[in-house]
Structure 1
Amino acid sequence: MTTPDTPLLDDALGTLARTIPGATALFHTHQLDFCCGGKKSLRTAAAERSLDTAPIVAALQALQAVPAGDGRDWQQASPAELIEHLLTRFHARHREQLPELIRLSRRVETVHADRPECPTGLADHLTTMTEALESHMQKEEQILFPMLLRGFSPMVRMPIGVMRLEHDDHGVALARLVALAHGLEMPRGACNTWRALVLGLRTLREDLMEHIHLENNLLFEGLNHAQHSAESVG
């Protein structure tokens, strides 16, 4: 077990996710929420899941020792570059993912309704998620992102606050998705459609968590720091 003064334990998950390349994949493995729950410390989040922090800390320290790869460090990106990445990598991707996942889940629920591990209710839940996420993305595309691209203004605080609250709602929806899909475990003897569904749900979960992480912990936090710096100079 780790000792109380072990480095990294009291760092926020969001901070670790944005400063240690590869940390997000590690957190996915341990089901640690670094996006909506990004302000929780590693110690607190691990305790809530009854996880031994020693191997997690060791893995994070190993990742810190690895030289940076060729992947883009979005922490160093400008707001305009990060917004473009969010639009092309996540907004467009979610619009492709969700309709197909709804189609697959309806098929699985129809064909395998007699199996106890059937994700009953998943298609309806994904439909609700799609509507909420589409509304959220349109608010960003039509209101928040254009405001940010014009430069920081105190007026952005309110839409950012709304987006953060909706991110929390997306986190709750993801947790419900995982429950309906029985932990995203692959059922024994699953047909190709069911396998494609589970794999697609896993990808959606990782993508949406990464999406929220980049907004909450990089884009929004970066603007907060810029605001505080401007106020201190003024």
Structure 2
Amino acid sequence: MSINQQSVGEIARSITGATAVFHKYKLDFCCNGHLTLADACVKKNVGIDEVISDLQTLIDNQKQHLNRVEALQTDELIEHILARYHEVHRHQLPELIRLAERVEKVHKLHPDCPTGLTSLLIEMQQALLSHMMKEEQILFPMIRAHQLQAVHPIAMMRHEHTQHGESLEALEKLTHDITPPEGACNTWQALYIGLNAFKHDLMQHIHLENNELFMRIS
């Protein structure tokens, strides 16, 4: 299916950075996420060729990144995952929890207040820290040592990745697809910007392990 016939909601989920392109052209990927890109552009009187060009740039950049990643040796790939994702997640979540706690406290009477977000992020943090520790202390050393038994912890990591994905779905539902309400304060906007970055990083992290690193072993 050509990209102009895909729904804007699907494109927003599948192409990292697509939401920024949609914001640029004021295309609604939330409430009108079911519209095809072509229909969404007609609705907003936006030139579809410009939108597709920007989306194609994102796709090309992602392909270049993946090609560089695929060229890495397994030990180098593990180091990349540790530095780019494990350490980044450890810094992202405490700040997101702090911001969520403040938004829930200050805006608890607002109809769009993401009530329960702080608790969800704390649960995600605990699950992710445990998951990364198991990879760092058990799975990655086994992979480095070329141990065939690594297929067993890999199966468990894949299962936990699925659980992380379910948590992201819960997060999106709680935050209206991570879209702040009109007139949201700076803290609320900063929180959702951070949540979007975290979501994209975690999805890329899981993709890299499931479809690149683990495929080299299993």
Tell me, what secondary structure is at the counterpart of 1:31? helix
In structure 1, which of residues 158, 162, 182 is the aligned counterpart of residue 156 of structure 2?
A: 162
Q: Does 1:146 align with 2:141?
A: yes
Q: Does 1:87 align with 2:82?
A: yes
Q: Does 1:123 align with 2:105?
A: no
Unaligned runs of at least 5 residues, structure 1: 7-25, 35-48, 225-234
Which residue is 1:96 aligned to?
91
Q: Percent identity?
A: 45
Compared CA separation, residues 66 and 168, structure 1 to 2 (3 A) = closer
Does structure 1 retain, via aligned residues, the 8 Å contact 2:15–2:59? no
Does structure 1 retain, via aligned residues, the 8 Å contact 2:103–2:188? yes
Which residue is 2:172 aligned to?
178
| Aligned residue pairs, count | 183
In structure 2, which of residues 184, 207, 213 is the aligned counterpart of residue 213 of structure 1?
A: 207
> How far apart are 1:76 and its partner, in Å?
1.5
In structure 2, which of residues 119, 130, 133 is the aligned counterpart of residue 135 of structure 1?
A: 130
- CA-to-partner distance for each residue in 1:94-146, whole Å, 9 max, x for gaps? 01000110010010000001111101000000000000000000000000000
CA distance in 1, matches of 2:164, 2:9: 18
Which residue is 1:9 aligned to?
none
Which residue is 1:222 aligned to?
216
Tell me, what secondary structure is at the counterpart of 1:107? helix
Compared CA separation, residues 70 and 163, structure 1 to 2 (3 A) = closer
- Greater relative CO, 1 or 2 (CA 8 Å, sep 6+): 1
Structure (1/2) with the larger helix percentage: 2
Tell me, what secondary structure is at the counterpart of 2:155? helix
Which residue is 1:31 aligned to?
13
Amino acid in structure 1 at the alignment position of 2:129: E
CA distance in 2, matches of 1:28, 1:90: 24
Amino acid in structure 1 at the alignment position of 2:69: W
Compared CA separation, residues 77 and 28, structure 1 to 2 (3 A) = farther
Compared CA separation, residues 210 and 114, structure 1 to 2 (3 A) = same
- CA-to-partner distance for each residue in 1:49-87, whole Å, 9 max, x for gaps? 9675999xx87x956996975886111111101100111
CA distance in 2, matches of 1:149, 1:160: 13
CA distance in 1, matches of 2:190, 2:134: 31
> How far apart are 1:222 and its partner, in Å?
2.2
CA distance in 1, matches of 2:82, 2:164: 17
CA distance in 2, matches of 1:154, 1:53: 46
> How far apart are 1:223 and its partner, in Å?
2.2
> How far apart are 1:182 and its partner, in Å?
1.6
CA distance in 2, matches of 1:33, 1:138: 29
Does structure 2 retain, via aligned residues, the 8 Å contact 1:90–1:211? yes
> How far apart are 1:188 and its partner, in Å?
1.1
